[in-house]
A and B are shown apart, each in its own frame.
Chain A
Amino acid sequence: MVTVLNRNAELRQRAWDAAASVVDPEIPVLTIADLGVLRDVVVDEDHVEVAITPTYSGCPAMNMIALEIEIALERAGFRRPSVRTVLSPAWTTDWMSEEGRQKLRAYGIAPPQASNSRRALFGEQAVECPQCGSGNTELLSEFGSTSCKALWRCKACREPFDYFKCH
């Protein structure tokens, strides 16, 4: 019995590691574990099910991510893997790991800030330039190259940059 439990725990860990290695196709420095998109892995005898939560309702990367998870699990030796989408609780940028935030910054994308002022209709945000670290920045466009990003500009080093918006 104990051996079976251990065996299951070990299988689950292997499945988790395989799923967690999948990266966001739009931001390939982040894994779905860094993003907080990977929610759960359930293993029973001959089946593994991975639960993910979508970031934005219409984010086209989600289909790709689901496919990549199935491929990663098959490669790790799991047959008939499946991916389930869970909507609740809704994904938030608060779930992004500290490691993920550092990777984003190193990649040139400003990581999401604490989201408590999001509700203000015309709230002020303070975003640091990922290039030079200056706080002297301005918003160029609330919507950027993907659903999750806004376009900003640094007034100190004059470089434009992406900001991963709070959600």
Chain B
Amino acid sequence: MPVANVQVSETPQVLYALRRADDALILGHRLSEWCGHAPMLEEDMALSNIALDLIGQAREFYTYAAKIEGKDNDEDKLAYLRDVRQYRNLLLVEQPNGDFAQTLVRQFFYSAFADLYWRAMMNSRDATLAAIAAKSEKESAYHLRHASEWIIRLGDGTEESHVRAQAAIDHLWAFTGEMFAVDAGERDLIRAGIAIDPEGLRGRWLNTVSGVIGEATLTFPQNDWMQQGGRVGRHSEHLGHLLSELQSMQRIFPGLTW
């Protein structure tokens, strides 16, 4: 007996919390796929730790989304009982792990953004968002440093690691534009001092990213065409496979608890 998806009343505020939650959950899940497979023990632990931080952040945002929605949903239902088209995460975070370079470049692009984003959100007029941001920004600072060190090590490492890191940047670059896009509902929340305007972070993000990429002897792709769709539920083919694994237990045994 298949379990029905939950319906979510996506007011701008609910949607705003949901998008943050989905980003963190999906990226956290991707990183957890490395558990037991990373190239060395320290990295296995690092990626698992970062995954834990992200899933913890996701839980806070889901819980808040469910609270402001005020219906019957909770963090588990939102995570386990929505299908691909109901997910609101960035396309960047659902991209497959690929090789180690691809995982770290994805992390680097996201963490460089999240670090600025959470720091800005600490001043949100919404006290809960500000509180979640204050926790998250401490974590993202470590995530960014970890990823940055690896970008430099890979780029300025061997010929092979350089080629792979450059290929990862070239491949993932087109997914970075979506981080800076907002819709009309989010624009209203920005005006109300609740949401963060990502456009105001673009210069500093580019600064951090180009600084590290330059030190790593890597370059940006010339192509500036950007892919979008995740924020409104138009995903790449990869998300469905990820969700089928992430949700399998709740789909087979509805309401299962530990």
Q: Do the two chains belong together in a single complex?
A: yes
Residues on A facing B (Cβ under 8 Å): 54, 56-60, 87-92, 118-119, 121-122, 140-145, 147, 151, 165, 167
Contact with B141, one of A87, A119, A141 (Cβ below 8 angstroms): A119
Question: Could you tell me if B135 and A87 are in contact, using CB atoms closer than 8 angstroms?
Answer: yes
Given A57-B59, A88-B131 in contact, is the A147-B53 Cβ separation under 8 Å? yes
Contact with B148, one of A54, A56, A121 (Cβ below 8 angstroms): A121
Contact with B52, one of A58, A87, A165 (Cβ below 8 angstroms): A58
Q: Report the minimal beta-carbon distance from B15 to chain A, rounded to whole angstroms.
A: 21
Question: Could you tell me if B148 and A88 are in contact, using CB atoms closer than 8 angstroms?
Answer: no
Question: Could you tell me if B53 and A167 are in contact, using CB atoms closer than 8 angstroms?
Answer: no
Q: Is the interface of A mostly helix, strand, loop or mixed?
A: loop
Nearest A-chain residue to B122, judged by Cβ: A90
Question: Could you tell me if A57 and B145 are in contact, using CB atoms closer than 8 angstroms?
Answer: no
B107 at the interface (CB under 8 A from A): no
Residues of B within 8 A of A141 (CB): 42-43, 45-46
Question: Could you tell me if B54 and A143 are in contact, using CB atoms closer than 8 angstroms?
Answer: no
Residues on B facing A (Cβ under 8 Å): 28, 42-43, 45-46, 48-57, 59-60, 127-128, 130-132, 134-136, 138-139, 141-142, 144-146, 148-149, 208
Q: Report the minimal beta-carbon distance from A91 to chain B, rounded to whole angstroms.
A: 8
Among all A-B residue pairs, the 9 with the closest Cβ atoms = A58-B56, A57-B56, A88-B131, A58-B52, A87-B131, A141-B42, A143-B46, A90-B134, A143-B49
Measured between alpha carbons, how far is A92 from B42 in the docked complex, in Å?
25
Known: A58-B53, A122-B148. 13 other contacts (CB 8 A): A54-B135, A56-B52, A57-B53, A58-B54, A88-B130, A88-B134, A92-B138, A118-B138, A122-B145, A140-B42, A141-B43, A144-B49, A147-B53
